[in-house]
């Protein structure tokens, strides 16, 4: 048997165990990807801790996967061995539900996700449906591509969905795994970009990433500071603190949109009056399809957007996961299984 390594979690809250197992061949309409890079996303903690709806154990999380196709299943058209590809949260859709029949594949009621519905990318290899594949442009390495496949597509797609236009004032709330990409995307899209974070430590970096303004949310009322700049047309909210999200709402300009990307079960509280007066809105955004990922990668190649990463071999996954959870990582921990 040809063996391959996977990092598996056997039970809720359990550790990752790196084990050998048999290398599978791809099924119909699937490819096998030899994984070169696999980002650790905060959403994977829901899978590992057992709070993700639909999740089962044992599980192999990992949905920021970049590598090279090394085997092709029956019926695969348009992909071949040797291509560099990425797989994000979108693992494929059913094509039969109402959302799919309208072409809205990310809202498929039977959406398949790595680590939930099939084995994800904390491994040397993974099988993926062709619908999940994004082609990685030459200018971007696998390690850089990995975070763009979830953190990247979420912020890039969130900005596109916000309707932000060139010259609009866009505030990126939180300068972490998502936010440090959001700042770059907003600036490269031609928006007046405001970075908001706690303390002054991230100011210089935020400005280097393209922020035109920086607001320290510990030093002042940041919504008030936004209003002094004229108010935000869009706030890209990457924090996971619903109280901070709620507080940011007051910093919106008329017709401003609060784009919610940070996942939390806490409630956002905003009075109807604040929503109604000046036509403000709160909009959720959930990642994108493989083509959205490919758009994100291509835009990044074109404009120089890159994630800031720390790489680690697969066998150090428990340490990498702890660094992500503690918030100490700058900014994305990327496992490099077979590079």
Please state, in angstroms and as integers, the Cα–Cα distance from residue 272 to each residue in 16, 74, 252, following that order.
45, 54, 15
Residue among 46, 108, 145, 183 that touches Zn ion (CB under 5 A): 108
* Per rule CB under 5 A, count of chain residues that contact Zn ion: 8
Tell me how far apart the alpha carbons of residues 38 and 222 are, in angstroms, rounded to a whole number: 35
Q: Which is nearer to Zn ion, 67 or 152 (CB)?
A: 152
The least CB distance from residue 283 to Zn ion, in Å, is: 19
Q: What is the DSSP letter of 79?
A: -
The least CB distance from residue 146 to Zn ion, in Å, is: 11
> Binding to Zn ion (CB under 5 A): which residues in 121-180?
150
Are 299 and 156 contacting, i.e. CB atoms less than 8 angstroms apart?
Answer: yes
Tell me whether residue 237 is exposed, middle or buried, using C-beta atoms within 10 angstroms of its C-beta: 0 to 12, 13 to 18, 19 or more.
buried
Q: Which is nearer to Zn ion, 132 or 211 (CB)?
A: 132
Q: Which residue bears the tokens 């763009």?
A: 148
The least CB distance from residue 337 to Zn ion, in Å, is: 18
Of 226, 299, 221, the C-alpha closest to 256 is 226
Tell me whether residue 279 is exposed, middle or buried, using C-beta atoms within 10 angstroms of its C-beta: 0 to 12, 13 to 18, 19 or more.
exposed
93 binds Zn ion per the rule CB under 5 A = yes
293 binds Zn ion per the rule CB under 5 A = no
Q: Which is nearer to Zn ion, 216 or 310 (CB)?
A: 310
Cis preceding linkage at 301, omega within 30: no
> Binding to Zn ion (CB under 5 A): which residues in 4-63?
41, 43
34 phi and psi, to 5 degrees?
-80, 115
Q: Which residue bears the tokens 């591509």?
A: 145
94 binds Zn ion per the rule CB under 5 A = yes
181 binds Zn ion per the rule CB under 5 A = no
The least CB distance from residue 117 to Zn ion, in Å, is: 13
The least CB distance from residue 333 to Zn ion, in Å, is: 13
Q: Which is nearer to Zn ion, 35 or 41 (CB)?
A: 41
97 binds Zn ion per the rule CB under 5 A = yes
Q: Rule CB under 5 A: which residues touch Zn ion? A: 41, 43, 93-94, 97, 100, 108, 150
């Amino acid at each position: 048997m040809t063996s391959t390594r996977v990092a598996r979690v056997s039970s809720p809250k359990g550790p990752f165990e790196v084990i050998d197992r048999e290398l599978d061949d791809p099924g119909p309409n699937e490819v096998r990807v030899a994984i070169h890079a696999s980002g650790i996303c905060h959403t994977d903690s829901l899978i590992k801790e057992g709070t993700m709806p639909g999740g089962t154990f044992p599980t192999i999380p990992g949905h920021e996967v970049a590598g090279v196709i090394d085997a092709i299943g029956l019926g695969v058209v348009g992909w071949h061995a040797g291509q560099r590809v990425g797989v994000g949260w979108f693992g494929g859709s059913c094509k039969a539900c109402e959302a799919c029949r309208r072409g809205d594949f990310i809202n498929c009621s039977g959406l398949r996700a790595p680590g939930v519905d099939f084995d994800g990318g904390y491994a040397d290899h993974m099988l993926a449906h062709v619908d999940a594949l994004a082609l990685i442009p030459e200018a971007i390495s696998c390690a850089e591509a990995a975070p763009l496949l979830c953190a990247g597509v979420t912020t890039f797609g969130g900005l596109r969905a916000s309707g932000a236009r060139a010259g609009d004032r866009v505030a990126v709330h939180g300068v972490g795994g998502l936010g440090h990409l959001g700042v770059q995307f907003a600036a490269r899209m031609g928006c007046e970009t405001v970075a908001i974070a706690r303390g002054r430590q991230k100011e210089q970096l935020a400005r280097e990433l393209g922020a035109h303004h920086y607001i320290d949310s510990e030093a002042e009322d940041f919504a008030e500071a936004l209003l002094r700049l004229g108010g935000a047309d869009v706030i890209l909210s990457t924090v996971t603190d619903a109280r901070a999200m709620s507080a940011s709402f007051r910093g919106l300009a008329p017709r401003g949109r609060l784009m919610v990307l940070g996942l939390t079960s806490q409630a956002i509280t905003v009075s109807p009056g604040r929503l109604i007066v000046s036509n403000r809105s709160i909009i959720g955004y959930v990642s994108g399809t493989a083509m959205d990922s490919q758009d994100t990668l291509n835009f990044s190649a074109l404009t120089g957007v890159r994630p800031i990463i720390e790489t680690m071999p697969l066998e150090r996954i428990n340490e990498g996961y702890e660094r992500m959870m503690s918030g100490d990582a700058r900014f994305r921990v990327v496992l490099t299984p077979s590079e």
